[in-house]
Structure 1
């Protein structure tokens, strides 16, 4: 999702460590010893496995998994009437929920897509109806060319990784958490991703906001 598209901003004077070559159990203990200063570096290394895994999926497999996630969303939300659902345009092998978004509109709901306004700023969600014009935004992702800015009642958040406490591992820019932090009322936050993206913990920091539920294939 484009909420976390900007690269990691933390820089290190020393070369990267080899934690990605160690067992998950050892990495957990090593990070506890290293403390908070090691979290951004660890997260950057940890993203590679789930990203490589989902990009390796065939188109058929990705479509089947996306369909299962869409079915789980219907069971979780059930009533879309009058509700604004913040969804997304798929990026780098994320579950493709575009057809599901169209069905939300057909069932009386509205969908909104996130737009990156400026690096370091919260996202802006804009109402979009199938057929409305789209334009290329950050990382060439399609975003609404126009439309009112709204706050979603439900936010669908694609994950790179997720942990048992429902914290989300994104792309590293922090836009998702920054956006949720300024919302006037808390939306229902639903993470979506592939089951292979589960990790023991992302080592949540004070600015990280947990999702209410995570749905997988």
Structure 2
């Protein structure tokens, strides 16, 4: 199967199996961050849509622990940047129907939570096909080191995933059942 066929199949599975109660254990996630990151406290998250694993509870808790939080904003030419955001800040809806921060303070996260459609045991990620995260990761890694953490449901794992030279590997993938590194 090619990426497009895999994407379509997994999105259907995710929609049919979506359960808001199926989530990453927040305490395990916080412990994981403490063990696997330097004393950084600046994180880029995402606003969940299309039956993605919900990271808003994680972002809220980390903000209460004095993390600086940012969310992506889609720009021209399929580019993306992150902007500072707090749980109480207003959001606007982008052309894909995803809420984005209104803030004008560009932000370069040290830790990046990445939504995904599929993944494999080698930390390869299948996204929606627009290349937004691959381009952003390439751009930010020219500026600084960033820890890339994919969040997914365990049933999104793919045995043999096709990937190209443009696809960026993740450092970790966390599901409700396991942590891949």
CA distance in 2, matches of 1:160, 1:126: 23
Identify which of 3, 19, 41 aligns with 1:83.
Answer: 41
- For 1:72 and 1:54, locate their aligned partners in 2 and report how far apart those are by CA, in whole Å: 23
Quote the offset at 1:147 in angstroms: 3.5
The CA distance in 1 between the partners of 2:49 and 2:63, in whole Å, is 22
Q: 1:213 aligns with which of 168, 172, 178?
A: 172
Alignment pair present for 1:131 and 2:88: yes
Per-residue deviation at 1:49? 2.1
TM-score, normalising length: structure 1: 0.74
Segments of 4+ moved more than 3 angstroms: 79-82
8 Å contact from structure 2 (residues 24, 174) kept in 1: no
SS in 1 for 2:21: helix
1:57–1:161: structure 2 CA closer, same or farther, 3 Å change rule? same
Verify: 1:74 aligned to 2:30, yes or no: yes
**Which structure has the highest strand share of the two?**
2
SS at match of 2:13: helix
* Alignment TM-score, normalising by the size of structure 2: 0.88
SS of match in other structure, 2:17: coil
Per-residue CA distance 1:173-197 (angstroms, 9 max, x = gap): 1111100111111210001101111
Q: Kindly report which structure 2 residues correspond to 1:83-162, keeping only aligned pairs within 5 A, or say none.
A: 83-121=41-79, 123-162=80-119
Q: How many residues align?
A: 172
d(CA) in 1 for partners of 2:27 and 2:71? 20
1:72–1:169 Cα change, 3 Å: farther
Q: Kindly name which structure, 1 or 2, has the bigger radius of gyration based on alpha carbons.
A: 1
Query: Unpaired segments of 5 or more residues in structure 1?
Result: 1-26, 28-41
C-alpha deviation, 1:81, in angstroms: 6.6
Post-superposition Cα deviations, 1:122-172, rounded to whole Å, max 9, x if no partner, equal x11001011112111131111111241011010001110001210100000
- Shift in Å at residue 80 of structure 1? 9.2
